Structure 1
Amino acid sequence: MPSEEVLRARQRVVLDHFRDQVRQEWDDVLATFPHPRYELIAQMTVHDGDGPVRSYYQDTRVAFPDQDHEIIALRHSHDAVIVEFWLRGTQLGPLGKVPATGGRHRTRMTAFFVFDEQNNLVTERIYFDQLTILKQLVSGLNRKNPRDLLKLGRAVIGLLSMSGNEPDPRLRDTIPPTFA
């Protein structure tokens, strides 16, 4: 394991990263990486580089302008800080092709903040269940109200159209490790 000093420094980077995301201080968040990269495992997508990561931030904050995190636990590994957290927000704008529902979600997630040999943050890899989010976002819709039924139908169609994308080969084509 890295030294206690290295672990504390990595932890500070991760906590600053979380804080600056909530504040929507994108330049500060991006400064935690030498090259920003997000891997969203549930969607099998990669946002790699300044432009794609800024677009990801913009899209998620249009959908959830009040997005916030509640950290549950933080752990260290040889090359990563692993954070379990609740992601919370109210869907006030479109999420991809899913129209705004006005619904709130609180979804448990795990993020691996991966560091290289020079202790630079190189990837944030996030694991979560998309269906948990969608169920919460549509649960407040009144299924007896035609307008809400239409919104529910559009949400389902939007989610299905988004789920048909080809998985990013950088996440799909993995090589099994060799164990000694």
Structure 2
Amino acid sequence: MAKSRVSSRFLMPPEEVLRAREKLVLDHFHDEVAQDWDATLSTFPHPHYELIAQMLVHDGDSEVREYYTDTRVAFPDQHHELIAFRHSPDAVIVEFWLLGTHKGFLGQIPPTGSTHRTRMTAFFIFDENENLVTERVYFDQLTIVKQLIGGLDKKSPKGLLKLARVVKGILSMSGGVPDPRLLDTTPPEVGS
């Protein structure tokens, strides 16, 4: 892919660069749903995910593969419904619904059998050579948790026991230390 040669945050790359970025992102989404991890990872020279709600980074092939495996164990039918694509000088910004059925452990949270449909935004960030360098995902964790718990029968002893196990799992995963790579931010030069 050719360099976009964008030197200012106010200048957009040419249309062919935007189309190439969008195709790469669409391929990435398609390959994730198909669980073709080799194809998905091939969209990055170095796979790198930032999950802002959890303040987690998955960096490199093995960490990102582990992330894919863990999320598909928890939600084997995970898929997306695209809402909107937007372009910026260095990114494709995608709004989408993430959907799935909670059939396996999500970290320490036992499966509930509930489904979730959560609105998310992902920034696919490109470098000056038009390489995808980061997928940065924003979402509300509480939205997912509410849906996973909401499907439990809270009037039955079995449902209450499941709820207690889910809450215990959530609490055991809370309070982790944020990844320092997400804390060390530099404000943009504004007004230049």
TM-score by length of 1: 0.98
Would you say 1:156 and 2:164 are equivalent positions? no
Runs ≥4 residues deviating over 3 A = none
Counterpart for residue 133 of structure 2: 122
- Structure 1 Cα separation of the partners of residues 158 and 110 of structure 2: 13
1:88 aligned partner: 99
Residue matched to 2:9: none
Name 2:86's counterpart in structure 1: 75
Q: Gaps (5+ residues) in structure 2?
A: 1-11
1:157 Cα deviation (Å)? Answer: 1.7
Instruction: Answer yes or no: is the 8 Å Cα contact 1:22–1:67 preserved in 2.
Output: yes
Measure how far apart 1:23 and its partner are: 0.3
Could you say which structure has the larger radius of gyration? 2
- Equivalent in the alignment of 1:169: 180
CA distance, structure 2, for counterparts of residue 41 and residue 161 of structure 1: 19
Letter in 2 for 1:10: R
1:45 lines up with 2:56 in the alignment: yes
Aligned CA RMSD, in angstroms, stands at 0.7
Partner of residue 35, structure 2: 24
Matched-pair contact (CA < 8 Å) for 1:109–1:126: yes
Report the Cα distance in structure 2 between the residues aligned to 1:116 and 1:130, rounded to whole angstroms: 29
Cα distance in 1 between the residues matched to 2:104 and 2:136: 24
Structure 2 distance, partners of 1:105, 1:30, is 25
For the residues of structure 1 that align with 2:170 and 2:157, how far apart are their CA atoms?
Answer: 20
Deviations 1:45-72 (A, max 9, x none): 0000000000000000000000000000
Q: Deviations over 1:143-162 (max 9, x none)?
A: 11111111111111211221
Separation (CA, whole Å) in 1 of partners of 2:147 and 2:52: 20
Structure 2 SS opposite 1:148 = helix
Q: Distance in 1 between matches of 2:121 and 2:159?
A: 32
C-alpha contact (below 8 Å) 1:101/1:138 kept by paired residues: yes
Deviation at 1:173, TM superposition (A): 2.0
Amino acid at match of 1:173: D
Partner residue in 2 for 1:134: 145
Q: TM-score by structure 2 length?
A: 0.92
Partner of 1:144: 155
Cα separation, 2, equivalents of 1:132 and 1:156: 15
Letter aligned with residue 151 of structure 1 = K
